[in-house]
Structure 1
Amino acid sequence: MAAITASPTSQSSPASLPPSVFTLPHTAQLEALYTIIRDRTTSRGDFLFYSDRVIRLLVEEGLNHLPVVPKTVETPVGATYNGVGFEGKICGVSILRAGEAMEAGLREVCRSVRIGKILIQRDEETALPKLFYSKLPEDIAQRYVLLLDPMLATGGSAIKAVEVLKDHGVSEERIIFINLISAPEGLKSFCGKFPALRVITGWIDKGLNEKAYIIPGLGDFGERRYCE
């Protein structure tokens, strides 16, 4: 069988993306990882392993968008190296429950990073996202925040989470939203409301169906992650 190159047919073209949205480079390896985690027959163990690989890539890309300042160090051989260092402190905030799955990937690359949590669920009376619980670092307004949630469908929960962060004094410019798969409809709504906030996503799918499920998607991330 002849080898093929990656052909991200479900991916929106860069020209159609809001300027605040950044995607991972769509290599053949990345598409292979997404093919595995999209497959309904993939075992839970493999889903955990390969989704963690994608999450690690996303966190690394998110860190690329943090500001740096010049920093000079002396190497073990007595030479001087003019490099850079991170400016300011960071923290992670996961949108429960699926967002918790991304915390380990953040901790793997940021030792001792502080992590907050936000629980948002649909209000049965208003059908709107409602805050049920939040626990955030006391000094979060002075930190850069990596907001974690694997899926961006309509954008309702993510919008509510950013509103919670802003209520705690975090400016949009200090928030980077990281997720595995986004729907164009959710990106348009989310970025339209918070144009100064950056989004790092691994893949942009075709859109939402009549039930607001991402198509082709990968199903319910939380269910596949936490349930046998």
Structure 2
Amino acid sequence: ESAEKIVFPSFAGSVYSGVVFCKSLCGVSIIRSGESMENALRACCKGIKIGKILIHREGKSGRQLIYEKLPKDIASRHVLLLDPVLATGNSAVKAISVLLSKGVPESNIIFLNLISAPEGLHAVCNKFPRLKIVTSEIDTTLNKDLHVIPGMGEFGDRYFGTGSRVTPP
């Protein structure tokens, strides 16, 4: 399929020459941390539809779906799944399973995150080999609390300013 070419002036006054999106895109954030990536996605893809999935932690490995709000036509879209940290992979596996149950082809899902642990990458890739993952950093491992190390702790708490804060000595 050939992409439609486009030329237009940028905000900086130069001329941009590129292509128009030829596939329908949508974002899906895994609440709550994934919401931190929504503004950047909207800045890149004006008017993009964004859905949400909330998964509750049940112990060290269980996950339970609590809430989902997805575009009605999600099965015909390419999905950018948003979650800044991939630790064990349990939440991602559950979210991807929800998308598959809605008819999204595995090959149409791109999982975007900032930091990944090898354990999470292996868990997701072994279960969904046709899925694409884009991450900016692969850290060492997980600690006893299942946080990526060196990592950054509980991302949602840091981003939203909630939870306990550790003061450096």
Cα displacement (A) at 1:75: 8.0
Q: Measured at CA, do residues 123 and 210 of structure 1 come closer, stay the same or move farther in structure 2, by a change above 3 Å?
A: closer
Once the two structures are superposed, what CA deviation does each residue of 1:26-78 show, in whole Å capped at 9, x if it has no partner?
A: xxxxxxxxxxxxxxxxxxxxxxxxxxxxxxxxxxxxxxxxxx733355889xx
Tell me the amino acid that sits aligned with residue 63 of structure 2. P
1:190 to 97, 109, 124: 124
Q: Which residue of 1 aligns with 2:98?
A: 164
Q: Measured at CA, do residues 120 and 213 of structure 1 come closer, stay the same or move farther in structure 2, by a change above 3 Å?
A: same
Alpha-carbon distance in 2 for matches of 1:94, 1:86? 21
Alpha-carbon distance in 2 for matches of 1:169, 1:74? 35
Residue 213 in 1 paired to residue 147 in 2?
Answer: yes
TM-score by length of 2: 0.85
Residue 90 in 1 paired to residue 90 in 2?
Answer: no
TM-score by length of 1: 0.64
Q: Which residue of 2 aligns with 1:130?
A: 64
CA contact (8 A) 2:7 2:18 kept: no
Greater helix fraction, Structure 1 or Structure 2: 1
CA contact (8 A) 1:70 1:83 kept: no
Alpha-carbon distance in 2 for matches of 1:130, 1:141? 22
1:224 to 119, 135, 158: 158
Unaligned 5+ segments in structure 2 are: 10-16, 163-169
Q: With CA pairs under 8 Å and 6+ residues apart, which has the higher RCO, 1 or 2?
A: 1
Q: Measured at CA, do residues 73 and 226 of structure 1 come closer, stay the same or move farther in structure 2, by a change above 3 Å?
A: closer
Task: Give the 3-state SS of the residue equivalent to 2:115 in structure 1.
Answer: strand
Aligned residues: 155
Q: Measured at CA, do residues 219 and 88 of structure 1 come closer, stay the same or move farther in structure 2, by a change above 3 Å?
A: same
Q: Which residue of 2 aligns with 1:108?
A: 43
